[in-house]
Amino acid sequence: MGQLALQRLPPLASLPRRPPSLPPPSLPCATVSRRPLRPGFYVARAMSSHIVGYPRIGPKRELKFALESFWDGKTSVDDLQNVAANVRKSIWKHMADTGIKYIPSNTFSYYDQMLDTTAMLGAVPSRYGWESGEIGFDIYFSMARGNASAHAMEMTKWFDTNYHYIVPELGPNVKFSYASHKAVVEFKEAKALGIDSVPVLIGPMTYLLLSKPAKGVDKSFCLLSLIDRILPVYKEVLADLKSAGARWIQFDEPILVMDLDTSQLQAFSDAYSYMESSLAGLNVLIATYFADVPAESYKTLMSLKCVTGFGFDLVRGLETLDLIKMNFPRGKLLFAGVVDGRNIWANDLSASLKTLQTLEDIVGKEKVVVSTSCSLLHTAVDLVNEIKLDKELKSWLAFAAQKVVEVNALAKSFSGAKDEALFSSNSMRQASRRSSPRVTNAAVQQDVAALKKSDHHRSTEVSVRLQAQQKKLNLPALPTTTIGSFPQTTDLRRIRREFKAKKISEVDYVQTIKEEYEKVVKLQEELGIDVLVHGEAERNDMVEFFGEQLSGFAFTSNGWVQSYGSRCVKPPIIYGDITRPKAMTVFWSSMAQKMTQHPMKGMLTGPVTILNWSFVRNDQPRHETCFQIALAIKDEVEDLEKAGVTVIQIDEAALREGLPLRKSEQKFYLDWAVHAFRITNCGVQDTTQIHTHMCYSNFNDIIHSIIDMDADVITIENSRSDEKLLSVFHEGVKYGAGIGPGVYDIHSPRIPSTEEMAERINKMLAVLDSKVLWVNPDCGLKTRNYSEVKSALSNMVAAAKLIRSQLNKS
């Protein structure tokens, strides 16, 4: 396969001279002087403006489709690289034409920026068979997705976002080397287009502290002990970039917003001191984001002599302002992240300008650079592509392309060239949102206020409930189930699109979905699965499906955000108070239950996950919005029970994701998040079995909150993370409810054998009672094809039966 970085890219396809992503009419670009830079490219007179990073999927998911076509063998390396080059070109051109001064490069990725850093450092796990040389697509994508002989690397959430990164596997025997020149190749690519970009690297501290000890390495291994071995590679990269003409370098060090100890902060300081000679001749920006920087970390950061500028998230990190007021080094640049990179609400330009003016009084106007709070990777790409949103709601929003314009507008205003008409329009739109009657529902507000009078625990202990449920369900030891979704075929997606577009009748649509249910039910019965699912053929997305049926939600036609690799999600927009006008799943679940004598799970998405996987209104506390969703889901749970559904799964895949990064804030979040889940099912009978599901996060540190959720059964990702979850039970935590740690990774095309899955089950039985253990995959099967699903589930059931027979004999 082709080289990931070094090979020369094919000639770039020509693009229109106008920016590919134009701001909406409500937020026009101010007129700027332009000077020709290269044929076909113009750059605005640059103010002090900066973008931390930008979505890489393309305005219409061009990269997603190119990747999947390449993985399926339908297109070539050149085809994939041509699409990628055009995506990068359009991003750089939009920023240059808008007038951004500090334009990032190397924020594009074919899969994940942490995986890119692993490739850059040559930290390839031995199972992939790489020994030396430039890392190509074959090794790169094998690390991300696995292959026939080697499983994929672990994937987990990037801080408290819904973006997933590939976790580096490190140990004392890893031999680091400069194995991917992607950063310098993309810098040169931008330079050839007339863009003097700022190359962006994941900082060495963030890289190491987000890694994990490789399999076979003692879990207590100190990852920071490798700092002296990766820094020489960083120095090679810096030398390469300087030789290519780079004048700036951006190190992303979001790890600094975490609670670091003294030794970690010393290692951080030592690392940048070690690189100081290589940084000579470069302007250095260290960017932090997602939260406040703790006082000790801030102090360490300010002590670095080699740094030109410091970037802070001033949307989620308002307390950092106090630290800046007390101490900011003279002569340094302050990159002020006042435009929210994680939400889609239009910036309150007047409020942001006041913040910038406050900073001006501290550090001086010429030292303030207007920036985004973090990479725009976490927001949708371009509002111009939206046709579903009504005019009023659209006027309240700004996607990535519009946020670039907001940054430039603030920079111009801050420098004395304020566009009064633009600011006036922005103020009117802010006022429109505050006063709109569609935002507030007094009855909902009253219902939420009343929730504070109870903790909403179920009336009996889980051990008593499990006995009552077993009498009713009569399940075998080690019952098998799946998480919910079955493959979403091309035909299935087409049918849903045609129904939405009114091209087929409701009768025809329901019949098609019914036939899909029958196929999924028959397959599960043939395989011998104990608790069935209907496969969710009627659902486009586990959050969008519910949001479309709740008031207070709006949906985009093209507001896609990358979750991992080629997987994109289209988060709903929560703009107002939430109610459930009518039942959402009862019709479908009842239909499916009638097809089988086996228990059929009613499938719901929990309130915390709906909240964390949406663009949430920022005009009231998040927990208030979450409780509104919880009340809606509670109504649905009780309607399912009345319809005869005896097993109801309320997924909380994103509960861990929303955990605040600072320990001092975590208890408050966990208290209200767990409370919201309990609200949904506190009124059901003991015989109704409540399941929940969680995936792709580190759950060990919140295990006691998971227990406090008081679910009857939890299915939880386990295999892709090398059974890290099981260690918490080795440490003595007692879990009395049903639990199903996943026995295979559904995000890899690799199909584990019966023996491999049986071995995993035995490892679980070493720490969990067979009376509470369930057998299931890591996650839903939506992204797999039917041949993979049938083989994997067949092996899974065979493994459960094998261990079940061994238990019976013993």
From the number of C-beta atoms within 10 Å of its C-beta (0-12, 13-18, 19+), residue 2 rates as middle
- What does the DSSP assignment read for 542-607? TTHHHHTTSTTEE--SS--EEEETTEEE---EE-S-----S-SSHHHHHHHHTT-SS-BEEEEE-H
Of 127, 196, 8, residue with least CA distance to 748: 127
Token pair, residue 731, equals 């440490």
User: In a 10 Å sphere around its CB, with 0-12 CB exposed, 13-18 middle and 19+ buried, how is residue 692 labelled?
Assistant: buried
- 650 has binding-site annotation: no
Other C-beta atoms closer than 10 Å to the C-beta of 276 total 13
The helix (run of H) or strand (run of E) holding residue 270 is helix 262-274
Do 166 and 155 meet the contact criterion of CB atoms below 8 Å apart?
yes
The answer to whether 374 is annotated as binding is no
The string of DSSP letters for 281-298 reads TSEEEEE--SSPPPHHHH
Report how far residue 692's alpha carbon sits from residue 530's, in angstroms, rounded to the nearest whole number.
17
- Cα Rg for the chain, rounded, in angstroms? 26
Evaluate whether 741 touches 682 at the Cβ level (below 8 Å). no
> DSSP 3-state helix, strand, coil percentages of the chain (rounded to 5)?
45, 15, 45
Give which of 781, 802, 745 is closest to 166, Cα–Cα: 745
Q: Does 568 appear as a known binding residue?
A: yes
Q: How far is CA 761 from the centre of its chain?
A: 29
Which stretch of DSSP H or E encloses residue 525? Answer: helix 506-527
Q: How far apart are CA 723 and CA 764, in angstroms?
A: 9
Contact 777, 742 (CB under 8 A): yes
C-alpha atoms less than 13 angstroms from C-alpha of 89 in its C-beta half-sphere: 20
DSSP letter, residue 193: T
- Does 29 appear as a known binding residue? no
- To the question of whether residue 567 is assigned a binding role by annotation, the answer is yes
Does 779 belong to an annotated binding site?
Answer: yes
Q: DSSP letters of 350-400? A: HHHHHHHHHHHHHH-GGGEEEEESS-GGGS-S-GGG--SS-HHHHHTB--H
For residue 126, give every residue at least 6 positions away whose Cβ sits within 8 Å of its Cβ, in sequence order, or none.
none
267's tokens = 């290692």
**Residue 641 annotated in ligand binding:** no
Tell whether residue 64 is among the known ligand binding residues: yes
Partner residues linked to 576 by β-bridges: none
At residue 310, the 3 state secondary structure works out as: strand
Binding residue per annotation — 484? yes
The residues assigned a catalytic role are 747
DSSP letter assigned to residue 656: G
- The verdict on whether residue 651 carries a ligand-binding annotation is yes
List the binding residues for Zn(2+). 693, 695, 704, 708, 717, 779
| Binding-site sequence positions for L-homocysteine | 483-485, 651
Binding site listing: 64, 162, 483-485, 536, 567-568, 613, 651, 693, 695, 704, 708, 717, 779
Instruction: Give binding residues for 5-methyltetrahydropteroyltri-L-glutamate as ranges.
Output: 64, 162, 567-568, 613
Annotated binding site for L-methionine: 483-485, 536, 651
